[in-house]
Amino acid sequence: MEDVGDEVGAWARSGVVALTGRNVPLVPPGTGARTAYALGRRFTEATGVAVDGGRLLSERAAYTGSGRRGSVSAGGSCRLLPCLDGWAAVSSARADDPALLGALAFAEPGEDPWTATARWLRGHTGGELDARAALLGVAAGAVARPEAPHLPEAGRPRPVAGMLVVDFSALWAGPLCAHLLGSAGARVVKVETPTRPDGARGGDAAFYGLLHAGHSSVVLDPETPGGRRALAALVAAADIVIEASRPRALARWGLDAEAAAASGKTWVSITAHGRASDRVGFGDDVAASAGLVARDPSGPVFVGDAFADPLTGLTAAVLAASEPPAGAGVLWDLSMTDVVASTLPESPTGLSPQAVSTSSGWVVETPDGPVPVAAPARRTGPTGAASASGADTASVLGSLGIALP
């Protein structure tokens, strides 16, 4: 794998710089790109599967065609807005989010929720936003690096080929972890419910296929006794469980992460702000609220595309492919906020370095000379299509000796 050079060069080669800024690409702060390259190398050394970690950070944009949009996220669903004591990132990605934003901001009848939110933020602090967002289930937060981000420490690598991975996650971070484990030979079973399919199924089909090709799809209804029994049996059969929701979500279905880990399972829990927090979040608002923004004279801008997702997915895959600390089961509590914040300097940085336009394209200056700003790129080689939702329910349960509900 190529030497990615210093932090600036790593950012440029990753494709993230091309997605960061307004008219001119900007170099983000911190070591996020170098960290991703290092995680990719570590996974490669552990499994033999070549993973270009830095390039994973920007590859979704190569499928969706997203580009840099300044204070609006590359995907368009998150905005950076000024608040009374700084800046805040606010997402509106789900069908009910406009109504939630209206409630957060005490919108007038018929008022545009973004207009109401911007008005409310101008008179309230980031801390007030955090509290109100947690109360209402809004994906939003003040732009402020946590004081003491904590990351679990991966142990020695272990083989994952042949292991059964039960994946309850959705969108990007968890599915990327499952995809990487599947590429290393694990058997991956994706689990959805009839009322909550993976929202990414409605996004770019080729990118969804990239992450899910070769995985089995099971749909079970946790509102029925038979569905809950089948879910519990799947967890009992699993070697690794991946989930990316607040702990109470699976607890309502009778699934206990701590008990599963105590019984010898590896349980990867991906949350926006840690298992002790009830706040929700998506890749863009989490990354920005963790402090990862670039800055030009007009203010902060988003870094990359939902940056917290791919960096967390890489981190989760390395943890899942490592030996548990006690040699038995383990619950990896992985906060996306902490994953991002751990790559940032303790003090905020000033204006971000700008790329320079040349006859051959944008470049950034590094100690070793100019480095071209790479565009997001698709991975080469066959990817395949994802299974339709629930297409493999009967065959998977039958192969594991689990009764159909």
Question: What does the chain come to in residues?
Answer: 405
Confidence of residue 382 (pLDDT cuts 50, 70, 90): low
Residue-level pLDDT at 148: 80
Two tokens, residue 46: 């552990």
Residue-level pLDDT at 3: 47
Calpha distance 252→367 (Å, rounded): 54
Confidence of residue 5 (pLDDT cuts 50, 70, 90): low
Contact 18, 342 (CB under 8 A): no
Residue 3: strand, helix, or coil: coil
Two tokens, residue 19: 């997605």
Above 60 in pLDDT, residue 66?
yes
Residue-level pLDDT at 381: 67
CATH number of 150-345+379-399: 3.40.50.10540
Q: Give the tens place of pLDDT for each residue, 150-161.
A: 889 998 999 999
Q: Give the tens place of pLDDT for each residue, 29-65.
A: 999 999 999 999 999 999 999 999 999 999 999 999 9
Calpha distance 14→394 (Å, rounded): 41
Q: Is the pTM of this model over 0.85?
A: yes
Calpha distance 367→361 (Å, rounded): 19
Give the dihedral sign, CA 219/187/326/230: positive
Calpha distance 256→359 (Å, rounded): 58
Sequence ranges of the domains in the chain: 80-142, 150-345+379-399
Q: Give the tens place of pLDDT for each residue, 207-248.
A: 999 999 999 999 999 999 999 999 999 999 999 999 998 888
Q: What is the DSSP string of 335-374?
A: EHHHHHHTTS-SS---SPPBPEEETTEEEEEETTEEEE-P
